[in-house]
Amino acid sequence: MSRVILLLSGPNLDQLGSRSPEIYGSQTLEEHVARFSGEANDRGFSVRHVQSNFEGDLIEAVNGARDTAVAIVINAGALTHTSWALADALATFAGAKIEIHLSNPAAREPFRHVSTLAGVVDGSISGFGALSYDLALDAVARLLS
Ligand code: DQA
């Protein structure tokens, strides 16, 4: 049975493709997810993707992953900078946890310089556009090997 990676996408990531393409690129979320899932399948993982614009949905997905997933890869969108509740949920997940961003929040507005999630994940990957997803998959595979 293949091991499950929960891929989480937070608010407004459903708008990728048309949302600020100069910052986030022109690929849609579906394209990122399809690529990530395909590469994950090649490495023996299956992917469950949840996108929501609601904080509680993401928290419930994290809590539901506790006994079903071996890793969480999360782009929490702007909740990255505000959600201590999501951080608390992630802190209780024992598997591999990677925070990703398409852009480099540290090089942007000051409110993006804080991540509530950074302290409860194994590591953060930011600023590589679509490559951030590939690097996150590499990190998961290595952390679990
Ligand atoms: C983002 C960065 C966040 O600051 C922003 O709110 C997003 C996208 C990224 O992938 O670069 O929604 O997480």
pTM attached to this predicted model = 0.97
The CA–CA distances, whole Å, from 41 to 8, 75, 102, 103, 115 equal: 17, 20, 22, 26, 30
For a substitution probing ligand 1, which of 13, 101, 131 has the most ligand atoms within 8 Å of its CB?
101
95 C-beta closer than 6 A to ligand 1: no
Under the banding of pLDDT at 50, 70 and 90, the label for residue 2 is confident
78 C-beta closer than 6 A to ligand 1: yes
pLDDT (tens digit, 9 = 90+) per residue, 33-88?
Answer: 999 999 999 999 999 999 999 999 999 999 999 999 999 999 999 999 999 999 99
pLDDT (tens digit, 9 = 90+) per residue, 88-102?
Answer: 999 999 999 999 999
- For domain 4-144, say whether CATH 3.40.50.9100 is its number: yes
101 C-beta closer than 6 A to ligand 1: yes
pLDDT above 80: residue 1: no
Q: At what angle do helices 55-64 and 84-91 cross, to 10 degrees?
A: 0
Gap from CA of 103 to ligand 1 centroid (Å): 6
